[in-house]
Amino acid sequence: MSQINLHIKLSLIQLFLLVLNLFILSSAMPFLSWFMESAFGWLGILATTPLLHPLFHYVLCYYLLWNYRL
């Protein structure tokens, strides 16, 4: 796999995690269990980024180890 394809895949994973982060803790739907007021939405992003960022790096390391045998 070329470097460009690898870069695209990893960028898409990072974008997906960012959107997931935005959805989970800045949702304005009161029927969801993770509902927060919109004023605290950005605080939610700050709270979950340290949790989702290591997940991205775990996926990255797992992908590189199994596909490139680093």
Whether 18 has a pLDDT exceeding 70, the answer reads yes
Q: Where are the domains of the chain?
A: 3-68
- Give the CA distances from residue 60 to residues 8, 9, 28, 40, in Å, rounded to whole numbers and listed in that order: 12, 10, 31, 30
What digits encode the pLDDT tens for the residues 29-47? 565 555 555 556 666 667 7
Listed as own residue / partner, the contacts of 12-16 with beta carbons closer than 8 Å and 24 or more positions apart are 13/56, 13/59, 13/60, 14/56
- Which two structure tokens, joined as six digits, stand for 64? 């590189």
> HSE of 3 in the Cβ direction (CA atoms, 13 Å)?
0
pLDDT band of residue 61 (cuts 50, 70, 90) is confident
